[in-house]
Every structure is written in C-alpha cells, then in structure tokens.
C-alpha cells in the first residue's frame, strides 16, 4: 500500500559537510508502446509540473535522515508523480545553486523504471504529470542538472 501523504518540513533533512542541502530525484521512464501493444526501445519519461504549475521537472526533494538515498528517490517519485517502479543505479551527482533560496544544493538523480502509475497520489492536486519523449523533456525541463542526468540516462540505454 502506498502512503498518500507527502512528507513536509526540513527537520529531517540531510546536509553535506559543506552545509549544502542534499536532494534526490528520479527520472521515471518506460519504453514506448505502439497501438498494438508492441514495446519499442524508445524511451518515454515522466515530467511533473512545479507546485505553482509554471515549469516542468523530474520528481525530486530532500533526502531525509531516516531513509537510504534509493528510498528517498522512490518516495519522491511516489509523492510527486504517483508512480511506482524500480530505482536503478545513480546517474550522478550535481552541485547547483537554488534560485529560490540562493544556497548550494547537492543533487542526486536516479532512473526509475515505472511498473505502476497510480490514479491517486499525495501531490495529485498540486502537480500535473506528463509522459513525453526524451527530446521533449530536454526542452521543457527547468533544471540544467536534470537535463544532464537525462543525457546520462539516454547514453546508458543507447549503449545497451
């Protein structure tokens, strides 16, 4: 059973040795199917709107003290995008400046192979979710570091 309430607050947040907040995100993906249900090798990725609905990104949020990094990635995908799946090997780590807070963050991104898409999820009323091609996601994603993670994901799947 999935939890239907998002975690809030920063009491349990992790910070690195330099004082940067540690955040974790996922790139939810699946393989595109044609009208007959045949699966191709073309990836589709799921983006979510920001809470104010103006921009798009991949699900991400704070890594908390009581969870592993993979658990945090899984939780963020469930809370923000309403998807459940398999968290795969980390795509990388990026340091970036938060526009909103003016401080540095340490961001970690993981691919999430989606196995189930829920009709109800914690942030259903706060966000929109849209499946799109990798190229479309690269165009609309707000964060440069998430675009780089998407590029790493594509490279990994092209090499297979």
CATH of the domain at 59: 3.90.79.10
DSSP β-ladder status, 21-33 and 60-62: antiparallel
How high is the pLDDT of residue 8?
Answer: 57
How far is residue 78's CA from residue 74's CA, in Å, rounded to a whole number?
Answer: 6
Contact between residue 147 and residue 63 where contact means Cβ atoms under 8 Å apart = no
Model confidence band, residue 37 (pLDDT cutoffs 50, 70, 90): confident
- The domain of 131 spans 21-158
Residue 76 CB partners (closer than 8 Å, separation 6+): 24, 25, 26, 59, 60, 61
Residues in the chain: 160
Q: Residue 117: what are its φ and ψ, rounded to 5°?
A: -115, 120
Q: Is residue 52 assigned to a domain?
A: yes
Which whole number is the average pLDDT over 8-25?
85
Q: Is residue 108 assigned to a domain?
A: yes
Q: Is residue 4 assigned to a domain?
A: no
Instruction: Indicate the Cα dihedral angle 36, 39, 44, 45, nearest 10°.
Output: 110
The number of distinct structural domains making up the chain is 1
How far is residue 113's CA from residue 51's CA, in Å, rounded to a whole number?
Answer: 24
How far is residue 81's CA from residue 58's CA, in Å, rounded to a whole number?
Answer: 9
Of 70, 81, 72, the closest CA to residue 114 belongs to 81
Q: Is residue 59 assigned to a domain?
A: yes
pLDDT tens digits, one per residue of 41-93 = 889 999 999 988 789 999 999 999 999 999 999 999 999 999 999 999 999 99
Q: Is the pLDDT of residue 6 over 70?
A: no
How far is residue 119's CA from residue 125's CA, in Å, rounded to a whole number?
Answer: 11
Residue 80 CB partners (closer than 8 Å, separation 6+): 6, 48, 59, 60, 61, 121, 122, 123, 127
pTM above 0.85, yes or no: yes
Which whole number is the average pLDDT over 6-27?
83
pLDDT tens digits, one per residue of 115-152 = 999 999 999 999 999 999 999 999 999 999 999 999 99
Q: Is residue 122 assigned to a domain?
A: yes
Q: Is residue 14 assigned to a domain?
A: no
């Amino acid at each position: 059973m999935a939890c239907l309430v998002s975690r809030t607050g920063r009491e349990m947040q992790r910070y690195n040795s330099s004082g940067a907040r540690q955040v974790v995100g996922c790139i939810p993906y699946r393989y595109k199917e044609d009208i007959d249900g045949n699966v191709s090798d073309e990836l589709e990725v799921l983006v979510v709107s920001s809470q104010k609905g103006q921009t798009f990104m991949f699900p991400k949020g704070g890594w908390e003290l009581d969870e592993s990094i993979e658990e945090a990635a899984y939780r963020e995908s469930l809370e923000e995008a309403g998807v459940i799946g398999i968290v795969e090997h980390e795509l990388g780590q990026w340091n970036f400046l938060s526009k909103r807070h003016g401080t540095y963050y340490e961001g970690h991104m993981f691919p999430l192979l989606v196995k189930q898409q829920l009709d109800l999820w914690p942030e259903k009323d706060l966000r929109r979710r849209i499946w799109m091609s990798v190229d479309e996601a690269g165009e609309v994603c707000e964060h440069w570091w998430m675009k780089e993670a998407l590029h790493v994901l594509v490279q990994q799947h092209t090499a297979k």
